[in-house]
Amino acid sequence: MAFGLIWAHLIRNKLRTALTGGSVVLAVFLYCFLQTFLTTLNQITKAANAQRLITSSAVSLFETLPVAMVEQLKAARIPGVVDFGHWTWFDGIYKDPKEFFARFAVDVPALRSQYGNEFVLSDETWDKFTHERAACVIGKGLQQRFKLQVGDPMVLEGTIWPGTYRFTIVGIYTAKNSAYDEDTMFFHWSYLNETCGQKNMIGTIALRIDDPSQSSEICARVDGLFRNTNTRTLTQPEAAFNAQFLSMWGNVGLLFEFIGGAVIFATCLITLNTMLLSVQERVREIGVLKTLGWRSRSLFVLYLTEAAVLCTDGALIGIGLARLACSGETLRLGPIILPTFLCTNITMLKALAIGLGLSLVSGIAPALFAKRMSITRALRLS
């Protein structure tokens, strides 16, 4: 009988129930989406290889470095450094300026030695990529996005590095590490340098070391080589570099936490208001139930359960929608590309706890109202 009463209460005002439940669904979905965004960012940072250090300009990440610095580092013979490579952000336009994806000019042999374990490419493809000056490799995501195949041409118009760049796709990689996206293009820095007019500038220098415990000492020695030059550097572990790159978006974590908290707080007020209105409309019913022998404690549980059904069902629907939207596929939001965008079990459990919390906060006041209402007062007010 109690469950019949709960159902009757919920469908008594279908529009109000639908709107209130919808607000819970939206709040929980938004919470899951924002938390998944933050979780994916943290995953990218944590997935960094401790044996890699990144050297960039101490002035700004967007400042380029002379390529001669790589030879200076090699000549310095810093103990613990195994090899050197470099990456340069190309930008450029492929077909449409709105079609964004990462494009890097790299030292291909160093890319193979330092990052070869992160990507799935055959030895034959690596060899072909190494020896063909205008060759490029792309991720599987780009292949599917633009319907490209090995052997197809790719023509890019330079922006940061002016000129027309013509490439031939020699390989399509997939990422072994879930923190790496499959929407990136790699090509030879030497081809970029020749086409743009021998500028001899690069973006960052990647160092592979044999002992991560010595990273602080090696970073200090690298930066010490250029301390009194016009191109001072900042060398840091790859994880710290990734965190620095992500920090350019601002304090995303604090912003998202604020947005999620504000939405949940607003939803809490909405559900509380709905439940209070609902119980006040049923004063006569409370009096009748108590006259028929219902105890105050039973009415307390009844109205608290009603709030729990409304909020937890809404939370479960919101979690389900979030899992569908954040199913592990790559998320593309303009220049932001997040691989393995997956709503984790921990996030879903937290969202369910929020739903239970909403049911408690919104249901406790109406339940107490019903519990404390006397029979005479209920019948008089009705």
Q: Are residues 113 and 220 in the same domain?
A: yes
Q: Are residues 332 and 191 in the same domain?
A: no
Structure token pair of residue 343? 């709503």
Q: Are residues 104 and 227 in the same domain?
A: yes
> Left (φ > 0), alpha (ψ -120 to 50) or beta: where does 293 sit?
left
Q: Of the candidates 182, 202, 231, which is a domain's last residue?
A: 231
| Amino acid sitting at position 330 | T
Q: Of the candidates 231, 263, 281, which is a domain's last residue?
A: 231
Tell whether 243 is covered by a domain. no
Domain count, the chain: 2
* Residue spans of the chain under pLDDT 70: 1-11, 178-179, 245-253, 279-294, 296, 332-337, 369-382
Structure token pair of residue 192? 């970029």
Q: Are residues 222 and 89 in the same domain?
A: yes
Residues 92 and 187: their CA atoms lie apart, in Å, by: 13
Q: Are residues 68 and 100 in the same domain?
A: yes
1-49 tens-digit pLDDT:
456 666 666 667 778 778 888 888 998 999 999 888 888 877 777 777 8
SS3 164: strand
Q: Are residues 84 and 181 in the same domain?
A: yes
Q: Are residues 158 and 291 in the same domain?
A: no
Report how far apart, in Å, the C-alpha atoms of 312 and of each of 21, 362, 373 are. Answer: 9, 12, 27
Cβ-contact 65, 231 below 8 angstroms: yes
pLDDT for 286 equals 63
Cβ-contact 348, 36 below 8 angstroms: no
pTM, 2 dp = 0.75
Interstrand relation of 102-106 and 184-188 (parallel, antiparallel or unpaired): parallel
Q: Are residues 223 and 278 in the same domain?
A: no
> Residue 324 sits in which domain range?
2-45+251-381
Q: Of the candidates 173, 202, 231, which is a domain's last residue?
A: 231
Picking from 180, 85, 171, the residue whose alpha carbon sits closest to that of residue 126 is 171
